Amino acid sequence: MTPFGARLADAVAGLGPLCAGVDPHPGLLASWGLTDDGDGLARFADACVEAFAGTVAVVKPQSAFFERHGSRGIAVLEELLAAFAGSPTLTILDVKRGDIGSTMDGYADAYLGVGAPLGADAVTLSPYLGFGSLSSALDTAADAGRGAFVLARTSNPEGAEVQLAEFGGRSTAQAMVDGAAARNAGVTPLGDTGVVVGATREHGLDLSALNGPVLAPGLGAQGAAPSDIATIFAGLQGLVLPAASRSVLAAGPHVSALRAAAESLRDELVAA
């Protein structure tokens, strides 16, 4: 399979940089007039596939909101990922997995291996057992033409005590960026290992050597505007995927309105 970085670069060139969140939390299901169960979840997922496939470059399903429905929710998530796999739109499954040894291998088999049952084009990973603990997942992803986004500088206030802690003259967050950059070195047009950096604050990171993608949550309801993105990520060697969920999903449940909201935000990002 073509490497994830190359596929992502092509998708963004064709469909713009917006990453649309797929977050079926209970309040949203209720606002769409859907039941908070497997049936409501399936109807929500079908609408998102119809609205976003071929409209945006990337979607980001939040695994937790599917997992809370048990085995039926996981089945809906599998079906959602499979539906997008047949479209021009790539998927980043937001699972934030991170562990060591055989446990990390198990997560890699579930999400990143060839034929993985919950296979997405990429997943989010938590590196706070050490960046090196992710090696098996990153290697498995590369072998299958998939990618990963490693948490670096998140927008939640609690993150600062870990992410801004310094050792050896650099912050933990910068060490995560540097680890991703080492994986991406020399890859064209773009490496497969991205980082997660919130779009709602000045991050203070040197992204000039990343040569990979930045997943930037916080667009829309969380406060970041399209015009902020170029300023916040000035100097990046790679590309930015500004992610928005609530501000787009609020347009549902009608597919046409949902698609229009995604197109409007996508076009604002391109113009900015």
List, for residues 156-188, the tens digit of each pLDDT value. Answer: 889 889 999 998 899 999 999 999 999 999 999
Nearest to 196 by CA among 21, 48, 64, 44: 21
Residue with tokens 């603990």: 133
The number of folded domains in the chain is 1
Average pLDDT over residues 6-15: 97
**Is there a catalytic annotation at residue 60?**
no
Nearest to 52 by CA among 259, 253, 260: 259
Out of 96, 221, 222, 263, the active site residue is 96
* CB contact at 8 A, 91 and 81: yes
Q: What is the per-residue pLDDT for 220?
A: 65
In sequence order, which residues have a C-beta less than 8 Å from that of residue 26 and are 6 or more positions away? 36
Cα angle vertex 134, ends 185, 203, to 5°? 65
Q: From CA 219, how far away is CA 261, in angstroms rounded?
A: 13
Domain residues for 70? 4-271
Nearest to 23 by CA among 85, 92, 89: 92
Residue 211 has pLDDT above 90, yes or no: yes
Domain of 247: which CATH number? 3.20.20.70
**First and final CA of the chain: distance in angstroms?**
32
Q: Does the predicted model carry a pTM greater than 0.75?
A: yes
> Helices (H) and strands (E) in the chain — how many of each?
12, 10
Average pLDDT over residues 17-31: 97
